[in-house]
Chain A
């Protein structure tokens, strides 16, 4: 049995790597990958604690729901990124600084 705290340490490190990507990257797709890392760190915690929850199964069920929500979020975010690229000709988040009108 792998101890629970090791799962939590790995997910903490993964969350921090994702946060670094979100804070510093200048490409919207890499920012999106950073968000995916943070979501996956949360899912790893869900699954690691779900091992202790045999009767209700809450950890594994909500890990499934979180994976589905992450995939839907990626689809919508990539559609937005493509529209932004069509309009601004760049996907650098620091250069996208005007709203409609």
Chain B
């Protein structure tokens, strides 16, 4: 087991453990900060898939944008949340049980599908050109954005404009109040 595998499986375990804690912890502020740990270790795994630009984008967008937005929304909507959490925790045990059942069933299904697929020996995987460790993927991404994937790029930019206008419209103050 070399150092690459040790680091990868360490961060994989960190991802899954912190995601599990995000879902199960009682304190919501801690859960949002643990979400940052999950996102960061996911970015480390993107690096191991030789996608360094995606990893940097992940860290910048999620930590700079999403995490701050979530904390902001959480602080604005928190007044009786923590007191309401205690007394409601007893009456939804049966729902938790069914949710757990569905998720475990889905995971077992996915696990059996992945382990029986034998992905390494599929013909199109064998015929593909893998990215080498010395390839300049950022250069390639820049060229692809302006040539092959120009239409999705433009669609995404229009979509971002729509989301900006929509969020500003939703969050504006009413005229009367």
Contacts and interface: CB of A to CB of B under 8 A. Distances in A.
Contacts, number: 228
A37 B46 contact: no
Interface string A47-87: 11011111111111111110111111111101111110100
B23 A25 contact: yes
Given A51-B50, A61-B141, A64-B57, A24 B95 contact: yes
Given A12-B111, A51-B130, A60 B54 contact: yes
Interface residues of A, number: 73
Contacts of B104: 16
B66 A60 contact: no
The secondary-structure label for the interface of chain B is helix
Given A2-B5, A40-B42, A51-B51, A20 B23 contact: yes
Chain B interface residue bracket vs A? 35 or more
B74 interface: yes
A21 B24 CA distance: 9
B58 A44 contact: no
B25 to A, nearest CB: 10
A17 to B, nearest CB: 5
B3 interface: no
Contacts of A14: 15-16, 19, 42
A3 B115 CA distance: 12
Contacts of B58: 43, 67
Nearest to A55: B129
Nearest to A68: B156
Interface string A9-41: 110111111111101111101101110110010
